[in-house]
Structure formats: structure tokens, C-alpha cells
Structure 1
Amino acid sequence: MDTATEFGRLLGPLRRAVLRTRRAEGLPDLPEAQIELLRALAETGTATPRQVAARLRVAPSTVSNLVRTMTAAGLVERTPSAADLRTVHLAASPRALDMLDRYDRTSTAALRRALDGLAPAKREALERALPVLAELLTTLEAQTPEG
């Protein structure tokens, strides 16, 4: 068994299984890129498009396109900078923050039910793997050039 191949094959189906729990609860089906942008704004409170692009490791044009769509949908609020009128600050709208909270609660409940169905030893093995998965993410991020 090749760990990298098997792990890679599991990532997509695991992500889709979690996404299905959101749909089952009637939550809006936002693209993952929009959810990542909202999470970044929820964590920082406010940020410029360039700061968001750097944080998400994507091109500024990608953030501009996402912000245009998400502003129209009422998910992102744009505020001109008081210091420099060419700069805007982005923030997740209250509606978006509520939606993120509902996504997280729904996903967490589904994952908790699935974890509870595992044998205790398997659940413990997964718990021990969490720091390794976090380190794997950090390593992958360091290897991947910014978009």
C-alpha cells in the first residue's frame, strides 16, 4: 500500500461526504473557495483583498472575482479605507458568519456521529493522527507556490 496514493484517494470522498451533510440540512451550497474566503475574514475580522489573497495563497484576481460574486450575494461587505480611498477593507457579513457557524455545527455533528460509530481504538488512532495531519498541511503549503 502506498500511503500517499491511498490518502489522496480518500480526501475527495471525505470532503464530499461532509459537504453532503450541509445539503441535507438545507444549507446553501457555497463553493469551497467562497467558504475559505469567509473563514479567512471571520478569523481576521477585516482585511484588504491583497491580504486575503496572500492568506489563501491565491492570485489577487481570484479574490476580486470571489468578492464581486459574494458582495452581490450579501456575504461580503466592502468598506473604503479612511486612509487611502483606493483601498477597500473586506468583512464577512453577519449573514455569512451565521452561515459559517451553521456549516460548522452541521459538519461537526455529522463527524461526531461517524466517529462515535468507530471502535475506540480506531477513534484514538485518528485522534493521534490529527497533529500529523496538521503538520502534513503545513508541509504541503510550504511546497506549493502561491497562486
Structure 2
Amino acid sequence: MAEDLAVPLFDLAWLLPRTIGAERDPRWVLPASELEVMRLLVRRPGASVNDVAAGLRLQPANVSTTVRSLEARGLVERRRDERDGRVVRLHPTALALEHREQQEASWGEALSRALEDLPPADAAQLRAAAPALRALAATLARE
């Protein structure tokens, strides 16, 4: 039953950013709205405010406020669309991408430690499921 998978995946999605590799440096502790916008922009650089709002099911005004905060932190930059100068595209900065890379490495290390607390067979099954979970995420991202 898909619910048997959906519920633990949802629980993990909620728990992971709060427990695995939690930020110790206050500069990088971002509110949930900023984390969501950054997650989307890392995967879809060049999105407009309206694209981000639609993708996250938020109001464009709320996304604009969030983007201003991210700009002030040096994590997002606005660029005019080359084909239509009226449109502004949002891009993660080099600093944001560097931090994301470090954060992902930290998540991997912390998750490895957490997997060591599980029975070896469970840990092996979870590691083996990674490609299928990536494919599922890609499928859901297209919907």
C-alpha cells in the first residue's frame, strides 16, 4: 500500500532538516520559507518570483519578501531575463551553492551515523533504495 511508504517519507522529510546536520552557525539557520525557496532555486535556477510562488503554492508577495531576505544574506541574486527585460530571474549565488554542497556533505555524514544505529540489514535496504527514491522524487517533481 502506498500509504505505508508515503507516511514515513513525509515524516522523514519533516525530521531530516530538523535533526540531521542541523546548522550550528546562526548565519545559515534559515526560516522554513527561505529554505523552501532556496531548495527550489537550487533545482531550478532562473525561476521568476511567480514561478517560485506557483511551485511552492505561495503568494507572489510572500515570495518577494522571502527573496529580499535571501538577497540580504547574499544567497540569491536577481538577473534580468535576456529575452524579456521586464522579467527578473532568480539565481542562487556562488555562496549559496557552496553552502549547499557543504550542507549535503554534512547531511551524508550525519545520516551515516544514524544508519549505524539500525540493524545492518535495514541500513543496507535503505542505502539500496536511494536510486528508487531519487526516481520517485523526480517523478513527483514533474507532477
Same fold (TM over 0.5): yes
Mapping of residues 1-147 of structure 1, within 5 Å: 7=8, 11=12, 12-18=14-20, 21-24=21-24, 26=25, 28-127=28-127, 131=132
Structure 2: distance between partners of 1:134 and 1:87: 32
Cα distance, 1:114–1:51 mapped onto 2, change above 3 Å: same
Residue 118 of structure 2 aligns to a residue in which SS? coil
Q: CA deviation at 1:35?
A: 2.3
Deviates more, 1:70-79 or 1:81-90: 81-90
Larger relative contact order, structure 1 or 2 (CA cutoff 8 Å, min sep 6): 1
Cα distance, 1:81–1:10 mapped onto 2, change above 3 Å: closer
Provide the residue aligned with 1:145 in structure 2: none
Identity of aligned residues (%): 32
Deviates more, 1:95-104 or 1:76-85: 76-85
Cα distance, 1:133–1:46 mapped onto 2, change above 3 Å: closer
Name the amino acid aligned to 1:60: P
Residue 23 of structure 1 aligns to a residue in which SS? coil
Structure 1: distance between partners of 2:134 and 2:81: 38
Residue 46 of structure 1 aligns to a residue in which SS? coil
Equivalenced residue count is 138
Structure 2: distance between partners of 1:109 and 1:87: 40
Residue 22 of structure 1 aligns to a residue in which SS? coil
Structure 2: distance between partners of 1:14 and 1:134: 19
Name the amino acid aligned to 1:17: T
Structure 1: distance between partners of 2:109 and 2:93: 24
Q: Which runs of 5+ in 2 are unaligned?
A: none
Deviates more, 1:118-127 or 1:68-77: 118-127
Structure 1: distance between partners of 2:115 and 2:45: 32
Query: 1:80 touches 1:87 (CA, 8 Å); kept in 2?
Result: yes
Q: CA deviation at 1:76?
A: 0.6
Deviation digits for residues 48-74 of structure 1 (CA, Å, limit 9, x no counterpart): 111122222322222111111111221
Please report the RMSD computed on the Cα atoms of aligned residues, expressed in angstroms.
Answer: 3.3
Structure 1: distance between partners of 2:31 and 2:23: 12
Cα distance, 1:98–1:116 mapped onto 2, change above 3 Å: same
Query: 1:22 touches 1:103 (CA, 8 Å); kept in 2?
Result: no
Structure 1: distance between partners of 2:92 and 2:134: 28
